[in-house]
Structure 1
Amino acid sequence: MAPRGKATENAEGGDQAAPRRSTRIAGIPQPAAAAAATKPAPKKAAAGSSKKRAVEDGDAKAESSAKKSKASSPAEVAEDAAGIIEIGGSLPDLTLKNEKGEDIQVADLAAEKGVVFFLVPKADTPGCTQQACGFRDIYPDFSSHNFEVYCLSADQPTAQAKWQTKKELPYPLLSDPKRTFITALGAGDGGKTKRSHFIFAQGGKLVDKKIPVKPMDSPRLALEFIKTLQEGEP
């Protein structure tokens, strides 16, 4: 009788085990399958995001290109150069020191006479001395045409006064150590001064400029222009 009961238990256990295997497989969804059924498709989301980024990148490139185009337009270039005095521009409202250390109002210098500013890189150097002495030698001709002459440099007034005395320069020297006026004239060059000259008519309007210019040519060219200018006046 015992073997039969054991066989019966085994048979019953087998009958019970078969439905359980069927239930696990067919009746209960597996966690991985459920997650896969509810998870959004990653490729589609990535594709949409990439498309959005591509559009944004395209807009950014278009905007950058537009800015570059605008910056290179004539109007923009003219705006960038607004700080430099061009022909027809006026003397700026600046205060500089002369060789005596006195304050000089630049805007007032052409109130009664025309003005010639000749710019030198450094006082008492060979080329600058040649230019300065050239203006000295024909200084009376400038005076007779109602023009005053000024030497402009970044040297300190003491150095200018010493040079003036040494070379007997008859005109004032203006000190512009920060190169404010020099830069406004367009003669500033990375912490240096370009040899040049600028002519302002009576009233303060710029009528001529030579930049750069050779030391020996500067005085002659300045005087020739002034004579031509006055010959053409009514």
Structure 2
Amino acid sequence: MPRKAAPADDSEPVAPRRSSRASVVQAAEKKAEELEEKATKKRKAAAEGEKPAKTKKSKAKVDGEEGEGEPDGEEDDSAKLASIDIGDSLPTLTLKNEKDEDVEVSTLTEEKGLVLFLVPKADTPGCTNQACGFRDIYPDFTGLDYNVYCLSADTPAAQSKWQTKKELPYPLLSDRKRVLITALGAGEGGKTKRSHFIFAKGGKLIDKKIPVKAADSPKIALEFIKSQ
């Protein structure tokens, strides 16, 4: 007996499956469109004057001799003195000493000569070397009718502590705004240059050493005075 023919399939033909490669291509195109759109927005914002994000600036460390040169006081442009050079006299200026008392600088040479040595920062290795050098031969200066003073931009409290710790026999002057220090030519960039200045009785500057080595400063100052 002959087989019956299979009934015809009246359903709609099934669409062929899209390949995975086509899907990948389409995704890539979409991503490219998104990137182009973002780039267009950035260009538009730049054209309209939009400010870029601020970047942090690193704070540079100020290097000084043996770590002593970091700014420890203030500089005040409104309180500048005229430069003091050989032959010039001490200016009229009031500073604090290590006891936080007022000292009129112009009076320091009324009765004796003056050795004024400058240090970058109290109670640091090089400065202590210089200060103790003046301490050890202090009687030699006073025997020649010269007073010795230390000058720095440290606070009176810091100077007093250092004076007691190292048994310094002479006064210390605090020039927080580096007014006198700058006039002497030893203040630059918020730092104090190690130096010393010798004033004759009456106030005139007769010798200066700037810069000077910590160990050399006391003996060089004494040798100059003895040569006068």
TM class, shorter-length: 0.5 to 0.7
Deviation for aligned residue 1:83: 1.9
Cα deviation, 1:156-193, whole Å, max 9, x if unaligned, reads 00000000000000000000000000001010011000
Aligned partners of 1:189 and 1:136: how far apart in 2?
Answer: 27
Aligned partners of 1:167 and 1:142: how far apart in 2?
Answer: 19
Q: What is the percent sequence identity of the aligned residues?
A: 75
Q: How does 1:145-224 map to 2 (within 5 A)?
A: 145-224=144-223
Please report the TM-score for the alignment, with normalisation by the length of structure 1: 0.63
Letter in 2 for 1:223: L
Match of 1:85 in 2: 84
**Which structure features the higher share of helix residues?**
1
Match of 1:132 in 2: 131
List 4+ stretches of structure 1 deviating above 3 A.
none
Aligned partners of 2:148 and 2:169: how far apart in 1?
Answer: 9
What SS does the aligned partner of 2:192 have?
coil
Aligned partners of 2:114 and 2:96: how far apart in 1?
Answer: 17
Aligned partners of 1:84 and 1:190: how far apart in 2?
Answer: 17
Deviation for aligned residue 1:141: 0.1
Letter in 1 for 2:170: Y
Number of residue equivalences: 148
Aligned partners of 1:190 and 1:92: how far apart in 2?
Answer: 22
**Structure 2 unpaired stretches of 5+:** 1-80
Deviates most, 219-228 or 82-91: 82-91
Q: How does 1:25-64 map to 2 (within 5 A)?
A: none
Q: Higher Cα Rg: structure 1 or 2?
A: 1
User: Which of 1 and 2 has higher RCO (CA within 8 Å, sep 6+)?
Assistant: 2
Match of 2:100 in 1: 101
Please report the TM-score for the alignment, with normalisation by the length of structure 2: 0.64
Deviation for aligned residue 1:225: 0.3
Deviation for aligned residue 1:84: 1.1
Aligned partners of 2:183 and 2:91: how far apart in 1?
Answer: 8
